[in-house]
Chains A and B, each alone.
Chain A
């Protein structure tokens, strides 16, 4: 199903769409406030972009440096070429420890690899411990945002979900009380889990450490109580030096939620005494993206979600309409790399206004890449027939001034007496579905201009 068809489902509830739009815009405004209060923010963006550019240009070196240092620290490093291998490695580690209970902190990579269904299929009780992730896990949904996974839900939805699964009173929609219920429920899970899985926000090559940022402390609680910590990371998470973290920790949360920093910014270098730590480095299409000069930049993404919060299309269509792990503008660049045919409509889910590029803390040229994907998709014949033929027709008309002039004249006259039902037919004028056509002007600009020239 295309993005626009999925959006139509979301748009059926106009009130909720407006609420979704306003909620995300509120987060975008918090971002602005935090950014304006940081005098060197633009310099930090450039530094972050340059550090990532450098890292990607020497990725083979940094991957090996990271591996070597992590091993020296007593961390076991694994490599996974694709999602399936990643899942196999994780399951293998669980089996080796006879572990059936696992707590997981937020990780878009494990979402990308569909780790949860894989583990559940193999008899593992895997519990997401980030509150938003837990809510959508109970509802059997996917996250709709990378930082705010349950942003599409209202407190009534969460109240109903908790009533059904956690036994809260029906109609109790108080966020404070619901969070307290989740705290008690998840604490039980934390205390008995043999293995904890975390994502990775940054991996530092020079020290062999991984850095995990959370506000809830769920990653730390899970990992520090379990006997085994498995950190799953996309290979693009690498940065060269510990000091580079100063740049990234300053831009990440300010861009994401407008906070000065996450509550917990934790550095894991060595397993605790008597315990195990594993890092799984995952490719899953990233090396392919590295080889595409036009789209390579997307590997710099630090998953702050700023592009989603600012995107007028994302805010009014919801994360699920993208049908991809990473939604929004950045997801629309990343997804065709994985499956061009399936995600062919996503690069068109943008107004190309460039707001995503403006807020991106690592200066990814998001809207330019969206435009480039459209060219690629056009050449590959992945554009819907209606769009393809109307574009072809339009390009013919626009290339012949006489035809264009005549067409304008016919339209100006025709619109006056054609019945509304004909000019606004949903079948052939999608533009008019939610809009009125403008009043046709008496003359065209060219006619008006010709008159001015005479005077």
Chain B
């Protein structure tokens, strides 16, 4: 234990005020419809494609992305770049498309919870040029309150992913595709 630790904790104890109550956060319900979710996802630069039947997923992917894409995915038999947590960086950097499973979507902000277990490699959702997240339309919640209620533990790593990578750092002009995925499509099954 460092001396700074003791010094800091002692200073905190001396200086912190009398205890104030921790509020209970209400659940704040709201609109959890596909329409709301879709319009928000579009508003943040993503697209939503409704897939009538999960078995048609490969066909839809094929239509959306050219056949010569280097694809990493645990969901598609035609994925041609095998990725694990040990995959070298150079291999990861060459992935064109990652198709990953999203756990649930949040209608109020268009984000999708993607835990580490669904990523193959922690960097895959960001290093891929394009990202497709498969989401069960029954797994939509209205607000972040219901979202966190669904994840009592965030595991080792997990992210709420909302649209493609973007920036407005140059004169407030919105540019899609900063460092991460240049596009993000939600495949709603």
**Pairwise interchain contact A264-B126, C-beta atoms closer than 8 A:** yes
B64 at the interface (CB under 8 A from A): no
**Pairwise interchain contact B4-A85, C-beta atoms closer than 8 A:** yes
**Pairwise interchain contact A264-B159, C-beta atoms closer than 8 A:** yes
Chain B residues at the A interface, C-beta cutoff of 8 Å:
2, 4-5, 7-9, 11-23, 25-26, 28, 40, 43-44, 85, 89-90, 92-93, 106, 108-111, 121-123, 125-127, 143-145, 147-149, 151-173, 175, 177-181
* Interchain nearest-CB distance for B78 vs A (Å): 25
**A287 to B7 alpha-carbon distance, docked (Å):** 10
Known interface pairs A220-B123, A260-B44; A215-B166 also in contact (CB < 8 Å): yes
**Pairwise interchain contact B143-A250, C-beta atoms closer than 8 A:** yes
Q: Which residues of A contact B40 (CB under 8 A)?
A: 260
**A219 to B58 alpha-carbon distance, docked (Å):** 31
A333 at the interface (CB under 8 A from B): no
**Pairwise interchain contact A287-B15, C-beta atoms closer than 8 A:** yes
CB 8 Å contact bits of A73-104 with B (1 = contact, 0 = none)? 10000111100010000000000000000000
Interface-central residue, B85, B106, B180, by most chain A CB under 10 Å: B180
Q: Which residues of B contact A47 (CB under 8 A)?
A: 23, 25
**A58 to B22 alpha-carbon distance, docked (Å):** 10
Stretch in A117-125, A239-247, A334-342 with 4+ CB within 8 Å of B:
A239-247
Interface pairs (14), CB distance under 8 Å: A43-B26, A50-B20, A54-B22, A57-B18, A135-B170, A176-B175, A183-B177, A217-B165, A221-B179, A247-B25, A260-B109, A263-B166, A265-B111, A287-B14
Q: Which residues of A contact B143 (CB under 8 A)?
A: 246, 250
| Contacts A63-B12, A78-B2, A265-B160 known; 13 new A-B pairs at CB < 8 A | A59-B16, A60-B16, A64-B9, A79-B2, A79-B4, A179-B170, A186-B179, A217-B178, A246-B147, A250-B108, A262-B162, A281-B8, A290-B11
Number of A residues near B (Cβ < 8 Å) is: 92
**Pairwise interchain contact B169-A267, C-beta atoms closer than 8 A:** no
CB 8 Å contact bits of A39-54 with B (1 = contact, 0 = none)? 0100100010011011
* Interchain nearest-CB distance for A169 vs B (Å): 16
**Pairwise interchain contact A60-B20, C-beta atoms closer than 8 A:** no
* Interchain nearest-CB distance for A142 vs B (Å): 15
* Interchain nearest-CB distance for A168 vs B (Å): 12
At the interface, is chain B mostly helix, strand, loop or mixed?
loop
* Interchain nearest-CB distance for B177 vs A (Å): 7
> A221's closest neighbor in chain B, by CB?
B126
**Pairwise interchain contact B172-A263, C-beta atoms closer than 8 A:** no
A320 at the interface (CB under 8 A from B): no
* Interchain nearest-CB distance for A111 vs B (Å): 16
Known interface pairs A27-B172, A51-B23, A220-B126; A183-B178 also in contact (CB < 8 Å): yes
Q: Which residues of A contact B160 (CB under 8 A)?
A: 249, 261, 264-266
Known interface pairs A263-B163, A266-B158; A179-B12 also in contact (CB < 8 Å): no
Stretch in A150-158, A356-364, A422-430, A435-443 with 4+ CB within 8 Å of B:
A150-158
**Pairwise interchain contact A220-B145, C-beta atoms closer than 8 A:** no
Known interface pairs A78-B2, A246-B145; A267-B159 also in contact (CB < 8 Å): yes
**Pairwise interchain contact A243-B25, C-beta atoms closer than 8 A:** yes
Q: Which residues of A contact B149 (CB under 8 A)?
A: 243
CB 8 Å contact bits of A212-251 with B (1 = contact, 0 = none)? 0001111011001100000000010000101111110110
A288 at the interface (CB under 8 A from B): yes
**A250 to B162 alpha-carbon distance, docked (Å):** 13
> A132's closest neighbor in chain B, by CB?
B169
A187 at the interface (CB under 8 A from B): yes
**Pairwise interchain contact B7-A81, C-beta atoms closer than 8 A:** yes
**A180 to B11 alpha-carbon distance, docked (Å):** 47
* Interchain nearest-CB distance for A293 vs B (Å): 7
**Pairwise interchain contact B180-A216, C-beta atoms closer than 8 A:** yes
**A247 to B154 alpha-carbon distance, docked (Å):** 17
**A27 to B108 alpha-carbon distance, docked (Å):** 20
**Pairwise interchain contact B85-A273, C-beta atoms closer than 8 A:** yes
Residue from A218, A263, A296 within 8 A of B17 (CB atoms) = A296
A291 at the interface (CB under 8 A from B): yes
Known interface pairs A53-B20, A217-B165; A63-B9 also in contact (CB < 8 Å): yes
A389 at the interface (CB under 8 A from B): no
